[in-house]
Amino acid sequence: MVILVTGGTGYIGSHTCLALLEAGFTVIVADNLCNSRAETLDRVMQITNKEIIFYEIDVTNAASVEQIFTDHRIEGVIHFAAYKAVGESVREPLKYYHNNINSTLVLAEACLKHEVRRFVLSSSATVYGENDVPFVESMKLQPTANPYGESKIISERILRDVANANSWFSVAILRYFNPVGAHVSGLIGEEPRGTPGNLMPYITQVAKGKIGKLSVFGGDYPTVDGTGVRDYIHVMDLAEGHVAAMNLLGEGIHTYNLGTGKGTSVLELISIFEEEVGIKVPFEIMERRPGDIAECYAEVSKAKEELYWNVKRDIRDMCRDAWRFESNL
Ligand code: NAD
Ligand code: UDP
């Protein structure tokens, strides 16, 4: 099967390309490199010993996207390309709505025109907003406090309407929890530009000595130790979830949580990381970060039952693999 992967040079996209190639798919990547590097694909090809066809294009540009669908008989689309920095989305909402929504519109239009039957959208646990944990796919979504989250809710809605109007068009909405870690080779991983916003890359950079200490955002949440609880998922497990969705997606629109179902607090993650890597991570408890919720973890039975997908890697693997990648940089 020939799959178009938008945002395929990015963090989750590159690991998914690797998993798709290993599962025997032909992979075409479309990425404008606004948050990634083309060399990442060389590494994926080096690891798998298989080819990827790369188009350096902006997927909000309908003519550029049309060219790919004319050049190849695309059979499925996995749409990762998006901006993802929550804080920036509050400051520059139009930038986020433009990129994240127009890209979905352009790709959905190309799929209808070229009769491409399978579409997988990267969504996020952010769409649940302040619901009770664990988050279940059937929950009513709460408005999110930022344009990034809203752009995902709107993209989900667009694809739902398109699938309802075209019974042959199958859509998987994948709501990711907290992807961390890296491929076990240490050759590809998460490379945030500037100071990391997310916890795991921050921890690895403190461990490496690039940053003095970690600020723990909030020590007074109603959680096991007062710090925020999240459902961290190994990026290769997440990648394999996309392969399962491409293989087993039924007709219509289906939404799946991709998480582990287990919550880990910030202090628990620091302590596990220190044990696995053998390096102390100095930290200080600070004020809560605006917009954060106390706990976020998934109910994962739907993906297990319908996609026969299950995580294979635990929180210790996530720490070791994240560190292996950081120490290779
Ligand atoms: P990333 O920034 O590493 O990857 C996104 C890729 O898309 C980048 O390579 C970027 O260059 C590309 N891109 C962005 N806009 C584009 C455009 N208009 N045309 C072509 N390419 C474009 O991010 P990621 O962490 O790999 O995230 C992938 C997807 O998963 C995103 O849709 C994100 O919203 C979603 N997601 C990520 C997380 C997370 O914690 N990383 C959590 C939930 C959901
Ligand atoms: N966090 C933290 N310090 C940091 C970054 C994050 O204490 O430098 C906390 C954050 O408050 C949350 C958890 O770590 O409880 C995960 O945050 P991240 O930004 O990685 O993911 P989010 O769940 O916000 O998408």
Which residues does a 6 A CB cutoff place in the pocket of ligand 2?
178, 197-199, 202, 214-217, 228, 230, 266, 289, 292, 296
Instruction: Give the residue, by CA position, lying nearest to ligand 1 atom 4.
Output: 10
Three-class DSSP category at 324: helix
> Residue 227 Cα, ligand 2 centroid: separation in angstroms?
10
Q: 13 CA to middle of ligand 1, Å?
A: 7
86 alpha carbon – ligand 2 mean position (Å):
12
Ligand 1 centre to CA of 2 (Å) is 21
CATH number of 2-180+232-258+299-311: 3.40.50.720
Ligand 1 proximal residues by C-beta, below 6 Å: 7, 9-13, 30-36, 58-60, 80-82, 84, 99, 103, 122, 124, 176, 179
* Ligand 1 atom having least distance to the Cα of 81: 7
Minimal CA–CA distance to 10: which of 122, 153, 131, 136?
122
How many Å apart are CA 189 and CA 235, to the nearest integer? 9
Of 5, 161, 189, 183, nearest to 79 by C-alpha is 5
Q: 3-state class of 66 per DSSP?
A: helix
Structure pTM? 0.98
Q: What does the pLDDT profile of the chain (329 residues) look like in tens digits?
A: 999 999 999 999 999 999 999 999 999 999 999 999 999 999 999 999 999 999 999 999 999 999 999 999 999 999 999 999 998 999 999 999 999 999 999 999 999 999 999 999 999 999 999 899 999 999 999 888 899 999 999 999 999 999 999 999 999 999 999 999 999 999 999 999 889 999 999 999 999 999 999 999 999 999 999 999 999 999 999 999 999 999 999 899 999 999 999 999 999 999 999 999 999 999 999 999 988 899 999 999 999 999 999 999 999 999 999 999 999 98
Nearest partner of 252 among 136, 125, 139, 165, judged by Cα: 165
Check if 148 is active-site: yes
Which-ligand-closest: CA of 14?
Answer: 1
The alpha carbon of residue 5 and the mean position of all alpha carbons in its chain are separated, in whole angstroms, by 13
> Hey, is 32 helix, strand or coil?
coil
